[in-house]
């Protein structure tokens, strides 16, 4: 049974007639429709969504802010979504009934007292997108893109994924009464993400290739079969993901932080956040731009190399390898969009090692919030940017945590048991992470044994320090 939105009689007006256009980020061509592969029919570059009504018909900045704030106390289904609450700056579906929502967004902005202390950054926050309905930031984009898939009348949707996109797509399209096809690299995604897709009813194919191979195959598939592509190359996804920035700025009372730090994989999310920041500046919602920095794993550092070795002019793809499987991507589809926002906001692009990721993940866990490995690159990257003096202790910094701790329990268990780097080149060096490990203790079921263990633990302080 599709989950749809209905507006109550006498409530504020619903969604007006669509006024948005697709615009090619390369040649600037504008169109009302997009091809199946979401590429420009003239030059082959990626498309983005633009809407003149965002500027012309939009309320003044102060009125928009108060309208969005008022909606926080509304019980209308559209307002309960942390995405559609900002609908004045989103593409508009033909009717509210088409909207598929699981009340996504509305994610917390946490302070990080222990990391603040160890880095010396007093105003350090984590925007935790892992608190979305399926446990990752993908839900904010999926509510919009799945809605437009339904509007276009598709029966089948599909994605290639490192796990989170597929979990999110499967959930939203199940709610919307569509069928979904998932292409994932066999053995390279976490069981918890795979199990979500299964439970939500997706047709799940584990392909004997990597993520990049899955994506290539998907792009061929959508040219041949009436299947709607829900990867982040689909510009509707990025429109929904923009709302992370709207919500974050609202939580900061519209005072822009100095830095926003985000993990980089296929580079859709950094592109979306950058687009939102530029639109907010253009509409007078914020007085200046935060610097948007992108952090990658050393073993999956295509954007880092693209900027360093090719000046951002062409993509330097890599054979990706990292235990942060969500960002194990060597040929990122949205690299050109990411390069643009990177230049526009003046951010940095850095890479971090497997050990740095594991330590940062344990430190975010020790704050009582946790995240998946890919999200932890943000804290690891922040430490590097601090050492380079790109970030200064007196500045305000927001880390975007993209996925929930429970997304990759194998990584967490292996880390705490001391097995994560066994048999790898990092084995010896990984001993320095021992103070961050909290392995489970197996005991005889006696009071004596438990008290002895408690006394031992009392002698050792929990570790939380940055190098």
Helices (H), 131-201: 138-151, 164-175, 191-199
Site membership for ligand F0G, residue 327 (CB under 6 A):
yes
3 state SS of 183: strand
Between 147 and 375, CB nearer to ligand F0G? 375
- Total chain residues near ligand F0G (CB under 6 A): 23
Q: Nearer Cβ to ligand F0G, position 68 or 211?
A: 211
| 263 lies in the binding site for ligand F0G (CB under 6 A) | yes
Q: Is 379 helix (H, G, I), strand (E, B) or coil?
A: helix
Cβ-contact 332, 302 below 8 angstroms? yes
- Residue 375 binding ligand F0G, by CB under 6 A: yes
- Least Å distance, CB 162 to ligand F0G, is 4
Minimum Å distance from CB 255 to ligand F0G?
26
Residue matched to tokens 């929502």: 101
Listing DSSP states for 41-101 in one string gives: TTT--BEEEE-HHHHHTSPPHHHHHHHHHHGGG--SHHHHSTTGGGGGGSPPPS-GGG---
Of the two residues 170 and 249, which places its CB atom closer to ligand F0G in the complex?
170
Q: How far is the CB of 269 from ligand F0G (least distance, A)?
A: 3
* C-beta of 77 vs 347, nearer to ligand F0G: 347
Neighbours of 29 (CB within 10 A): 15
- Span interacting with ligand F0G, options 84-92, 251-259, 352-360, 372-380, rule CB under 6 A: 372-380
- Of 433-452, binders to ligand F0G (CB under 6 A) are none
- 331 counts as binding ligand F0G under rule CB under 6 A: no
* Cα-based distances in Å from 293 to 149, 262, 352, 385, 400: 31, 6, 13, 9, 10
> Which residue reads 């850095």 in tokens?
350
**Stretch of 21-29, 51-59, 257-265, 355-363 lying at the interface with ligand F0G (CB under 6 A):** 257-265
Taking residues 275 to 304 in sequence order and writing x for each that binds ligand F0G by CB under 6 A, - otherwise, the string is ------------------------------
For residue 261, what are the contacts with CB-CB under 8 A and spacing of at least 6? 293, 295, 378, 381, 382, 385, 397, 398, 399, 400
Asked if 381 interacts with ligand F0G (CB under 6 A), we say: no
Residue 115 interacting with ligand F0G (CB under 6 A): no
CB closer to ligand F0G out of 121 and 261 = 261
Least distance (Å) between residue 49 CB and ligand F0G: 16
Instruction: Report the C-alpha gap between 363 and 379 in whole angstroms.
Output: 9
Nearer residue to ligand F0G within complex by CB, 85 or 337 = 337
Half-sphere exposure at residue 197, Cβ-oriented, CA atoms within 13 angstroms: 27
Of the pair 78, 360, the CB lying nearest ligand F0G is at 360
CB of 161 to ligand F0G, least distance (A): 3
CB atoms within 10 A of CB 383: 21
The reply on whether position 141 binds ligand F0G by CB under 6 A is: no
Q: How far is the CB of 207 from ligand F0G (least distance, A)?
A: 13
Instruction: Select the span of 62-70, 162-170, 253-261, 355-363 touching ligand F0G (CB under 6 A).
Output: 162-170
Determine if 140 is a binding residue for ligand F0G (CB under 6 A): no
> Which 219-248 positions form the footprint of ligand F0G (CB under 6 A)?
232
**Eight-class DSSP state of 117:** H
Residue 7 class from Cβ within 10 Å (0-12 exposed, 13-18 middle, 19+ buried)? middle
- Which residues 6+ apart lie within 8 Å of 405 measured at CB? 130, 365, 369, 370, 371, 372, 412
Looking at beta carbons only, is 289 or 400 nearer to ligand F0G? 400
Burial label, 132 (beta-carbon count in 10 A; 0-12, 13-18, 19+): buried
Closer CB to ligand F0G, 78 or 184, in the complex: 184
Check residue 269 for interaction with ligand F0G (CB under 6 A).
yes
> Per-residue b/e over 437-451, b at no fewer than 16 CB within 10 Å?
eeeeeeeeeeeeeee
Residue 303 · residue 296 · CB < 8 Å: yes
Q: Using CB under 6 A, which of 190, 234, 402, 466 touches ligand F0G?
A: 402
Q: How far is the CB of 335 from ligand F0G (least distance, A)?
A: 10
- Residue 336 is a binding residue for ligand F0G (CB under 6 A): no
Angle between helices 164-175 and 138-151 (to 10 degrees): 40
204 binding ligand F0G? (CB under 6 A): no
Residues in the chain: 467
Residue 91 found at the interface with ligand F0G (CB under 6 A):
no
Report in angstroms how near the CB of residue 425 gets to ligand F0G at its nearest: 24
**Binding residues for ligand F0G (CB under 6 A):** 136, 138, 161-165, 232, 263-270, 326-327, 372, 374-375, 402-403
């Amino acid at each position: 049974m599709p989950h749809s939105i209905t507006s109550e009689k006498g409530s504020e007006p619903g969604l007006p007639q669509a006024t948005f256009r697709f615009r090619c980020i390369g040649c600037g061509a504008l169109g009302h429709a997009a091809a199946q592969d979401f590429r420009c029919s003239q030059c082959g570059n990626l498309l983005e969504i633009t809407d003149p009504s965002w500027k012309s018909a939009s309320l003044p900045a102060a009125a928009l802010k108060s309208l969005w704030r008022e909606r926080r106390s509304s019980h209308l289904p559209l307002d309960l979504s942390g995405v559609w609450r900002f609908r004045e700056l989103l593409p508009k579906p033909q009717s509210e009934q088409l909207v598929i929502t699981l009340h996504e967004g509305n994610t917390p902005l946490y302070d990080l007292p222990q990391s603040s202390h160890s880095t010396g950054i007093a105003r350090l926050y984590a925007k935790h997108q892992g608190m979305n309905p399926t446990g990752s930031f993908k839900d904010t984009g999926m509510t919009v893109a799945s809605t437009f898939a339904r509007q276009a009348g598709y029966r089948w949707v599909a994605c290639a994924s490192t796990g989170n996109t597929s979990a999110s797509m499967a959930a939203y399209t199940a709610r919307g009464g569509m069928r979904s096809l998932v292409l994932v690299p066999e053995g390279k995604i976490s069981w918890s993400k795979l199990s979500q897709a299964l439970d939500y009813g997706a047709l799940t194919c584990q392909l004997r290739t990597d993520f990049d191979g899955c994506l290539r195959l998907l792009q061929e598939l959508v040219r041949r079969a009436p299947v709607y592509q829900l990867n982040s190359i689909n510009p509707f996804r990025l429109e929904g993901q923009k709302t992370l920035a709207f919500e974050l700025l609202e939580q900061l009372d519209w005072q822009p932080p100095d830095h926003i730090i985000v993990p980089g994989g296929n580079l859709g999310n950094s592109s979306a956040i950058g687009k939102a920041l530029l639109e907010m500046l253009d509409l007078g919602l914020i007085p200046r731009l935060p610097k948007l920095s992108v952090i990658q794993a050393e073993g999956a550092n295509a954007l880092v190399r693209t900027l360093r070795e090719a000046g951002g002019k062409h993509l330097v793809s890599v054979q990706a390898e990292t235990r942060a499987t969500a960002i194990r991507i060597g040929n990122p589809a949205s690299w050109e969009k990411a390069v643009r926002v990177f230049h526009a906001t003046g951010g940095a692009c850095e890479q971090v090692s497997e050990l740095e990721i594991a330590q940062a993940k344990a430190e975010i866990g020790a704050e009582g919030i946790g995240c998946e490995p890919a999200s932890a690159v943000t804290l690891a990257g922040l430490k590097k940017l601090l050492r380079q003096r790109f970030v200064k202790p007196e500045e305000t910094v927001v880390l975007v945590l993209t996925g929930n701790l429970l997304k990759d329990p194998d990584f967490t268990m292996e880390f705490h048991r001391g097995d994560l780097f066994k048999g790898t080149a990092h084995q010896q060096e990984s001993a320095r992470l021992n103070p961050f490990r909290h392995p489970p203790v197996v005991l005889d079921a006696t009071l004596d044994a438990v008290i002895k263990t408690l006394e031992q633990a009392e002698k050792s302080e929990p570790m939380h320090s940055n190098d």
